[in-house]
Each structure stands twice: as C-alpha cells, then as structure tokens.
Amino acid sequence: MVFVAAALLVGGCSSTVEGEAFPVDVIGMFDPCEVLSNEELEKVGVDPATKEVDIVDTHIDGFNICSWNGEWYFLSLTSTDHSLVEVEQNPVMRDLHRAQIAGREVLKYQERNDKTDSACNVAFATSQSTAMIRVGAKVGLARPETPCTLVERIAETVIPLLP
C-alpha cells in the first residue's frame, strides 16, 4: 500500500519552539493534518474529505501522517522525529539529491523498490521535526505529469506554511 512506504521513508529533526504555530504532539512534532486548509488542499488537487490519519488507522511511533486522495494520486504529509540525515542514509531510498524549493533546502528521493517511478518524496527540516511530502500515483490511472514534478509543485505550497 502507498502509505506503508511513507513509514519506511521517514526522517526528522526534533526540537520544540516556543509559540509553536501548529498543534504538536508530546514529542514536539507538528500535526500534518492541521497544516493545509481545505482551500489549500483543493489548490494542490486533493479532496479534503478523503483525509486519512496514520496508516490504515494505525499510528507508528515517531511519525504523524496525514494523507488525501487526488484524481490520479495520493498525497501524504508526515512529520517525524527522525533527522534528515537518517532519511538520506535510509537504504530503501534511491535517486537522492538536495535541491531548493520555496527557499528551503530539501532532499528529493524515490524508493528503491519503485521500479515504475510511481511515487516521489521531498523531505526537509522544520523547527519542530522533519517534514515529508509524498506523491504516489494510483495504480492503472493515466499520469498527466510525473509524481516528482507534482511533489515539487505541492512542496512550493506546503513549505512556506511550516516553521
């Protein structure tokens, strides 16, 4: 399942900031379900009503995951207490490279077992944790653009919203 891969990809920097802009959990990670408004979710092409918390209603320690459905893809936003370095060193990643999106350094990557390039990820440090944005194509549907192109475009919207 698309969301299981998100759990394998995580990495994050944990730190608490006074006057946090977003609700945080007990270890100081932002709540990814609270970052995007319904209007912003629609702007990036997903239906706010399709929100799913965690992975198939199962919480994984060290990860806060929220996901939504688009027409041909799934979008997930994750906060994790793993560092960006841990994400970069994760052996299930491939095609890792650093880039700049919305003025922030990000790590862009795909998963080693994804032979059809059906998903793409962007991870970056926030003041509260590491954030991960993942776009995964739905099986059997035409892709009007690549998941990597789309995840970059979505990151342009999401990154400025996080501390």
Domain hosting residue 103, numbered range = 2-161
Domain count, the chain: 1
d(CA 148, CA 24): 29
Q: Which tens digit of pLDDT belongs to each residue from 73-124?
A: 999 999 998 889 898 899 998 999 999 999 999 999 999 999 999 999 999 9
* Residue 10 reports pLDDT greater than 90: no
Q: What number is the average pLDDT over the span 22-41? A: 76
Strand-pair category, 119-125 with 63-70: unpaired
Stated as kind and residue range, the H or E segment containing 151 is: helix 147-158
Strands of the sheet containing 130-137, edge to edge, are 46-53, 63-70, 73-80, 130-137, 119-125, 104-111, 93-101
From residue 99, how far is each of 26, 52, 60, 109, 132 by CA, in Å? Answer: 31, 29, 28, 11, 14
Residue 136 maps to which CATH number?
3.40.1000
Q: Which tens digit of pLDDT belongs to each residue from 57-66?
A: 667 777 889 9
Q: What number is the average pLDDT over the span 20-33? A: 61
* Residue 25 reports pLDDT greater than 70: no
* Residue 19 reports pLDDT greater than 90: no
Residue that the structure tokens 């653009």 belong to:
145
Q: Which tens digit of pLDDT belongs to each residue from 141-162?
A: 999 999 999 999 999 999 999 8
